[in-house]
């Protein structure tokens, strides 16, 4: 994002820009964003699910005005889905069209394996984009170790090798954010290529500020009560803790319902917006009285 002369330093400028994009970041996150842009290094953002790692890349895209390209990782992800594949149907049509012409196989092959028949996927789109983009490689820990190893070429030199075309280098270096929920350990080689950023659940004051920012019209008192209840639930022994986005959704729902207080009845009807595992929900519902006291 642009840092204009006269701003209160680059870190404060980034924090202001991210806040305008509805993302509150502290000095650590803002510093990582600044250094990633200056050093052309990817950010590896790790932390519990639901703390805003994916939103970090989305908000940076909005704040900087750069297009966002997202690669969602999953088990079995391969080059064809992440990098490129050939448009076989279009190639077949070309072969059929050339049947009636005296075209050598060498000439036909050169035409078949050209940019006209290439289907770029997120990684190649980011590298070949004529303008700078934000590349989000989301939940990289869900991809196989083999695919993680393949990423090393992309993150080291911002280039990819296509056997039929050769090496393709980045036109403009993308701003890269990788996220991980730490479902498995990532390799040291991948970590070395990134600026490491651990994002945890925010403290009460920060989460209260997030609710006020993302839920226009919510009263100060209601926002405080929402945060108190959510933080109490996060202290319970649950399989999945409420995320920040779920805190925001719950606050919005209470506002839409027109409630000005959080009592047992309201909790009973809306707590499923926060807790989305059946066994977790049973634990929370068993303690509604305690939750209601937190909301006082």
Of the two residues 233 and 150, the one the predictor is more confident about is 233
User: Would you list the DSSP string of 43-97?
Assistant: EEEE-STTSSHHHHHHHHHHHHT--EEEEE--TT--HHHHTEEE-HHHHHHHHHH
Q: What is the CA radius of gyration of the chain?
A: 24
Residues in the chain: 296
Token pair 């639930």 in the structure block, residue: 233
**Across residues 195-223, what is the average pLDDT?**
94
Other beta carbons within 10 Å of 25: 23
Tokens of 168: 């393709």
Classify residue 2: in a domain, yes or no. no
Q: Are residues 106 and 143 in the same domain?
A: no
Classify residue 66: in a domain, yes or no. yes
Most confident of 156-160, 173-177, 291-295: 173-177
The residue from 92, 120, 148 where one domain ends is: 120
- Give the per-residue pLDDT at 85: 84
Q: What's the structural domain count of the chain? A: 3
DSSP code at position 241: P
Classify residue 233: in a domain, yes or no. yes
Q: Are residues 132 and 272 in the same domain?
A: no
Q: Are residues 23 and 75 in the same domain?
A: yes
| Domain that residue 221 falls in | 204-294
Q: What is the per-residue pLDDT across 213-224, written as a single tens digit (0 to 9) for each?
A: 999 989 999 999
- Give the per-residue pLDDT at 97: 63
Angle at 103 between CA 100 and CA 105, to 5 degrees: 120
pTM of the predicted structure, to 2 decimals:
0.86
Q: What is the per-residue pLDDT across 81-129, written as a single tens digit (0 to 9) for each?
A: 898 887 777 767 766 666 656 666 555 555 666 677 778 899 999 999 9
- Give the per-residue pLDDT at 5: 44
Classify residue 1: in a domain, yes or no. no
- Give the per-residue pLDDT at 99: 63
Q: Are residues 133 and 110 in the same domain?
A: no
Classify residue 4: in a domain, yes or no. no
Q: Are residues 218 and 192 in the same domain?
A: no
Q: Are residues 183 and 50 in the same domain?
A: yes
The chain-wide mean pLDDT, for the chain, equals 88
CATH of the domain at 18: 3.40.50.300
The residue from 70, 102, 120 where one domain ends is: 120
Q: Are residues 189 and 244 in the same domain?
A: no
Q: Are residues 62 and 138 in the same domain?
A: yes
> Where does the chain have alpha helices with state H?
9-20, 27-39, 53-64, 79-82, 88-97, 105-112, 122-128, 145-157, 188-192, 204-214, 220-234, 244-257, 264-270, 278-286, 288-294
Classify residue 3: in a domain, yes or no. no
Q: What percent of the chain has pLDDT over 70?
A: 90
Classify residue 140: in a domain, yes or no. yes
The residue from 72, 104, 120 where one domain ends is: 120
Classify residue 31: in a domain, yes or no. yes
Q: Are residues 282 and 256 in the same domain?
A: yes
pLDDT of 240 higher than 90:
yes
Q: Are residues 58 and 22 in the same domain?
A: yes
Q: Are residues 104 and 189 in the same domain?
A: no
Contact 229, 242 (CB under 8 A): no
Q: Are residues 216 and 289 in the same domain?
A: yes
Q: What is the per-residue pLDDT across 7-42, written as a single tens digit (0 to 9) for each?
A: 568 999 999 999 999 999 999 999 999 999 999 999
Nearest alpha carbon to residue 137 among 81, 63, 189, 200: 81
């Amino acid at each position: 994002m642009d840092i204009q002369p006269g701003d209160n330093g680059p870190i404060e400028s980034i924090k202001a820009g991210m806040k305008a994009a509805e993302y509150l970041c502290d000095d650590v996150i803002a510093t990582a964003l600044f250094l990633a842009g200056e050093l052309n290094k990817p950010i590896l953002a790790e932390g519990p699910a639901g703390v805003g790692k994916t939103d970090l890349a989305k908000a940076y895209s909005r704040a900087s005005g750069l297009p966002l390209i997202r690669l969602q990782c999953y088990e079995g992800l391969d080059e064809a889905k992440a990098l490129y594949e050939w448009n076989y149907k279009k190639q077949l049509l070309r072969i059929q069209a050339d049947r009636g012409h005296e075209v050598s196989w060498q000439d036909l092959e050169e035409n078949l394996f050209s940019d006209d028949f290439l289907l770029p996927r997120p990684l190649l789109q980011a590298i070949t984009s004529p303008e700078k983009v934000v590349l989000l490689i989301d939940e990289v820990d869900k991809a196989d170790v083999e695919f993680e190893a393949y990423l090393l070429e992309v993150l080291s030199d911002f280039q990819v090798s296509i056997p039929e075309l050769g090496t393709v280098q980045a036109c403009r270096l993308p701003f890269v954010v990788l996220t991980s929920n730490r479902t498995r350990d990532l390799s040291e080689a991948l970590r070395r290529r990134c600026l490491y950023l651990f994002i945890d659940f925010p403290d009460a004051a920060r989460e209260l500020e997030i609710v006020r920012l993302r839920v226009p019209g919510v009263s100060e008192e209601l926002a405080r009560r929402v945060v108190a209840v959510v933080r109490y639930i996060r202290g319970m022994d649950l399989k999945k803790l409420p995320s920040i986005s779920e805190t925001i959704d719950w606050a919005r729902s209470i506002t839409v319902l027109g409630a000005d207080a959080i009592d047992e009845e309201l909790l009973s009807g809306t707590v499923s917006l926060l807790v989305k595992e059946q066994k977790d929900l049973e634990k929370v519902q068993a303690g509604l009285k305690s939750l209601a006291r937190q909301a006082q």
